[in-house]
Amino acid sequence: MTVELDYTSPNVKYSYDLNQSPLVKYDQHNLINVLGKKQLNSLDQVSLLDIYLSKSKVVEPHYHQNAAELVYCIAGSAAVSMLNPFTKKLHTYTINPGQVANVPQGWWHYEVALQDRTHLLAIFNASTPEVILGSDLLTLTPAHIMAHTYCMNETQWKQAIQPVKPSAFIGPFCHREEEVQTNPVPPSHYIPYYQAPPNYAPYWN
Protein backbone atom coordinates (compact mmCIF):
# COMPACT_ATOMS: atom_id res chain seq x y z
CA MET A 1 0.00 0.00 0.00
CA THR A 2 1.09 3.57 -0.58
CA VAL A 3 3.23 4.91 2.24
CA GLU A 4 1.92 7.91 4.18
CA LEU A 5 -1.51 7.90 2.56
CA ASP A 6 -4.55 8.18 4.78
CA TYR A 7 -7.21 6.02 3.14
CA THR A 8 -9.85 7.43 5.50
CA SER A 9 -9.31 10.92 4.09
CA PRO A 10 -11.98 12.33 1.74
CA ASN A 11 -9.12 13.81 -0.31
CA VAL A 12 -7.97 10.41 -1.56
CA LYS A 13 -9.16 9.83 -5.15
CA TYR A 14 -9.91 6.41 -6.62
CA SER A 15 -11.11 7.27 -10.14
CA TYR A 16 -10.11 9.68 -12.87
CA ASP A 17 -10.98 10.68 -16.44
CA LEU A 18 -7.83 10.56 -18.61
CA ASN A 19 -9.52 12.75 -21.19
CA GLN A 20 -9.03 15.60 -18.73
CA SER A 21 -5.26 15.11 -18.57
CA PRO A 22 -3.57 15.69 -21.94
CA LEU A 23 0.20 15.36 -22.06
CA VAL A 24 0.61 16.40 -25.68
CA LYS A 25 -1.76 16.86 -28.63
CA TYR A 26 -0.49 16.94 -32.20
CA ASP A 27 -4.02 16.83 -33.64
CA GLN A 28 -7.27 14.98 -32.90
CA HIS A 29 -5.78 11.69 -34.12
CA ASN A 30 -2.34 12.00 -32.52
CA LEU A 31 -2.27 12.69 -28.81
CA ILE A 32 -1.17 11.32 -25.45
CA ASN A 33 -3.12 11.49 -22.19
CA VAL A 34 -1.37 10.88 -18.90
CA LEU A 35 -2.31 9.31 -15.57
CA GLY A 36 0.15 9.59 -12.69
CA LYS A 37 0.10 10.23 -8.98
CA LYS A 38 -0.67 13.91 -9.57
CA GLN A 39 -3.91 12.96 -11.30
CA LEU A 40 -4.86 10.04 -9.03
CA ASN A 41 -3.22 10.26 -5.63
CA SER A 42 -4.08 6.70 -4.58
CA LEU A 43 -1.77 5.21 -7.23
CA ASP A 44 1.00 3.02 -5.85
CA GLN A 45 3.94 2.31 -8.18
CA VAL A 46 1.80 2.32 -11.32
CA SER A 47 0.96 4.94 -13.96
CA LEU A 48 0.12 5.02 -17.64
CA LEU A 49 0.00 6.89 -20.93
CA ASP A 50 -3.02 6.63 -23.24
CA ILE A 51 -1.59 6.98 -26.76
CA TYR A 52 -3.38 7.61 -30.07
CA LEU A 53 -1.42 7.62 -33.35
CA SER A 54 -2.02 7.80 -37.09
CA LYS A 55 -0.05 5.59 -39.48
CA SER A 56 3.70 6.36 -39.51
CA LYS A 57 3.51 8.66 -36.49
CA VAL A 58 6.18 7.99 -33.87
CA VAL A 59 6.43 8.29 -30.12
CA GLU A 60 9.91 9.77 -30.32
CA PRO A 61 13.03 7.88 -29.13
CA HIS A 62 13.39 8.19 -25.37
CA TYR A 63 14.08 6.28 -22.16
CA HIS A 64 12.68 6.13 -18.64
CA GLN A 65 15.43 6.18 -16.04
CA ASN A 66 13.24 5.00 -13.15
CA ALA A 67 10.59 2.75 -14.70
CA ALA A 68 10.00 -0.13 -17.10
CA GLU A 69 7.29 0.28 -19.74
CA LEU A 70 4.74 -2.33 -20.81
CA VAL A 71 3.15 -1.34 -24.14
CA TYR A 72 -0.28 -2.87 -24.78
CA CYS A 73 -2.01 -2.55 -28.16
CA ILE A 74 -5.74 -1.80 -27.93
CA ALA A 75 -6.40 -1.05 -31.61
CA GLY A 76 -4.44 -0.77 -34.83
CA SER A 77 -0.84 -1.97 -34.91
CA ALA A 78 2.53 -0.65 -33.78
CA ALA A 79 6.21 -1.50 -34.00
CA VAL A 80 7.98 -1.15 -30.66
CA SER A 81 11.74 -0.82 -31.07
CA MET A 82 14.24 -0.98 -28.23
CA LEU A 83 18.02 -0.93 -27.98
CA ASN A 84 19.39 -3.69 -25.77
CA PRO A 85 22.30 -2.02 -23.93
CA PHE A 86 23.89 -5.38 -23.13
CA THR A 87 23.99 -6.82 -26.66
CA LYS A 88 24.13 -3.43 -28.47
CA LYS A 89 21.39 -4.67 -30.81
CA LEU A 90 18.16 -2.98 -31.84
CA HIS A 91 15.07 -5.19 -31.66
CA THR A 92 11.66 -4.40 -33.15
CA TYR A 93 8.43 -6.12 -32.10
CA THR A 94 5.14 -5.69 -33.94
CA ILE A 95 2.12 -5.70 -31.65
CA ASN A 96 -1.54 -6.02 -32.64
CA PRO A 97 -4.69 -5.81 -30.47
CA GLY A 98 -4.27 -7.90 -27.33
CA GLN A 99 -0.47 -8.12 -27.63
CA VAL A 100 2.26 -6.44 -25.60
CA ALA A 101 5.93 -5.49 -25.74
CA ASN A 102 7.96 -4.94 -22.58
CA VAL A 103 10.68 -2.27 -22.42
CA PRO A 104 13.02 -2.72 -19.43
CA GLN A 105 13.91 0.27 -17.30
CA GLY A 106 16.42 2.63 -18.88
CA TRP A 107 16.32 1.13 -22.39
CA TRP A 108 16.29 3.49 -25.39
CA HIS A 109 13.07 2.86 -27.33
CA TYR A 110 10.33 4.25 -29.57
CA GLU A 111 6.96 3.25 -31.03
CA VAL A 112 5.80 3.60 -34.66
CA ALA A 113 2.14 3.28 -35.66
CA LEU A 114 1.67 0.88 -38.56
CA GLN A 115 -2.01 1.68 -39.06
CA ASP A 116 -4.30 4.67 -38.70
CA ARG A 117 -6.23 4.93 -35.43
CA THR A 118 -3.64 2.98 -33.50
CA HIS A 119 -4.37 3.03 -29.77
CA LEU A 120 -1.72 2.02 -27.25
CA LEU A 121 -1.57 1.87 -23.47
CA ALA A 122 1.87 2.34 -21.91
CA ILE A 123 1.98 1.09 -18.31
CA PHE A 124 4.79 1.94 -15.89
CA ASN A 125 5.91 0.47 -12.57
CA ALA A 126 6.35 3.91 -10.99
CA SER A 127 3.81 6.40 -9.69
CA THR A 128 5.79 9.24 -11.23
CA PRO A 129 8.15 7.92 -13.91
CA GLU A 130 10.80 10.11 -15.44
CA VAL A 131 11.73 10.53 -19.10
CA ILE A 132 14.67 11.67 -21.23
CA LEU A 133 13.52 12.58 -24.76
CA GLY A 134 15.65 12.31 -27.88
CA SER A 135 14.52 15.75 -29.00
CA ASP A 136 15.78 17.25 -25.75
CA LEU A 137 19.15 15.49 -26.05
CA LEU A 138 19.55 16.88 -29.56
CA THR A 139 18.47 20.44 -28.80
CA LEU A 140 19.94 20.91 -25.32
CA THR A 141 23.39 19.40 -25.83
CA PRO A 142 25.67 22.26 -26.98
CA ALA A 143 26.46 22.02 -30.68
CA HIS A 144 30.18 22.57 -30.11
CA ILE A 145 30.30 19.60 -27.74
CA MET A 146 28.60 17.32 -30.29
CA ALA A 147 30.86 18.56 -33.07
CA HIS A 148 34.04 18.22 -31.02
CA THR A 149 33.18 14.83 -29.54
CA TYR A 150 32.06 13.14 -32.76
CA CYS A 151 34.36 14.95 -35.23
CA MET A 152 31.56 16.78 -37.02
CA ASN A 153 31.26 20.18 -38.62
CA GLU A 154 29.50 22.35 -36.04
CA THR A 155 27.67 24.47 -38.64
CA GLN A 156 26.39 21.40 -40.45
CA TRP A 157 25.25 19.84 -37.16
CA LYS A 158 23.32 22.99 -36.26
CA GLN A 159 21.65 22.94 -39.66
CA ALA A 160 20.80 19.25 -39.33
CA ILE A 161 19.02 19.61 -35.99
CA GLN A 162 17.47 23.02 -36.70
CA PRO A 163 13.97 21.52 -37.40
CA VAL A 164 13.96 19.56 -34.13
CA LYS A 165 11.59 20.90 -31.49
CA PRO A 166 12.37 20.32 -27.79
CA SER A 167 10.07 17.84 -26.04
CA ALA A 168 8.41 16.81 -29.29
CA PHE A 169 6.94 13.51 -27.95
CA ILE A 170 5.18 12.78 -31.28
CA GLY A 171 6.78 13.02 -34.71
CA PRO A 172 7.29 13.66 -37.46
CA PHE A 173 5.98 17.21 -37.14
CA CYS A 174 6.94 18.02 -40.74
CA HIS A 175 5.23 16.65 -43.85
CA ARG A 176 7.29 14.00 -45.61
CA GLU A 177 4.99 12.62 -48.29
CA GLU A 178 7.63 10.42 -49.91
CA GLU A 179 8.88 8.95 -46.65
CA VAL A 180 5.38 8.04 -45.48
CA GLN A 181 5.27 5.53 -48.31
CA THR A 182 8.35 3.69 -47.03
CA ASN A 183 8.58 1.27 -44.14
CA PRO A 184 9.67 3.30 -41.08
CA VAL A 185 10.80 0.22 -39.12
CA PRO A 186 12.99 -2.82 -39.79
CA PRO A 187 11.42 -6.30 -40.10
CA SER A 188 9.80 -7.47 -36.89
CA HIS A 189 11.30 -10.13 -34.62
CA TYR A 190 7.86 -10.80 -33.15
CA ILE A 191 6.08 -13.97 -34.27
CA PRO A 192 2.52 -14.13 -32.89
CA TYR A 193 1.45 -17.51 -31.55
CA TYR A 194 -2.24 -16.91 -32.23
CA GLN A 195 -4.38 -15.00 -34.70
CA ALA A 196 -4.93 -11.41 -33.54
CA PRO A 197 -8.57 -10.25 -33.33
CA PRO A 198 -9.75 -7.82 -36.03
CA ASN A 199 -9.57 -4.50 -35.88
CA TYR A 200 4.67 15.29 -22.47
CA ALA A 201 10.73 18.75 -17.93
CA PRO A 202 9.35 15.45 -16.38
CA TYR A 203 5.95 15.21 -17.93
CA TRP A 204 4.16 13.67 -14.98
CA ASN A 205 4.60 16.57 -12.56
pLDDT confidence of 192, banded at 50, 70, 90?
very low
pLDDT digits (tens, 9 = 90+) for 34-43: 999 999 999 9
- Statement: residue 2 has pLDDT above 70: no
Predicted pLDDT at 128: 84
Burial 172-198 (b: 16+ CB within 10 A, else e): beeeeeeeeeeebbeebeeeeeeeeee
Predicted pLDDT at 63: 97
This prediction has a pTM of 0.83
Mean pLDDT of the region 11-37: 94
How much of the chain, in percent, has pLDDT values that exceed 90?
Answer: 79
Domain ranges of the chain: 18-131+170-180
Contact status, residue 69 vs residue 84, Cβ threshold 8 Å: no
| Residues forming a β-bridge with 51 | 32, 120
Q: What one-letter code names the amino acid at 204?
A: W
24-28, 29-33, 173-177, 194-198, range with the lowest pLDDT: 194-198
Q: Which of 24, 18, 64 is nearest to 39 (CA)?
A: 18
Please state which architecture CATH assigns to domain 18-131+170-180: Sandwich (2.60)
Q: Which of 73, 74, 70 is nearest to 82 (CA)?
A: 70
Mean pLDDT of the region 45-65: 97
pLDDT digits (tens, 9 = 90+) for 142-189: 999 999 999 999 999 999 999 999 999 999 977 654 444 444 554 444
pLDDT confidence of 204, banded at 50, 70, 90?
very low
- Statement: residue 57 has pLDDT above 50: yes
What's the chain's average pLDDT?
87
> What DSSP assignment string belongs to 9-34?
STT------GGG-EEEEEETTEEEEE
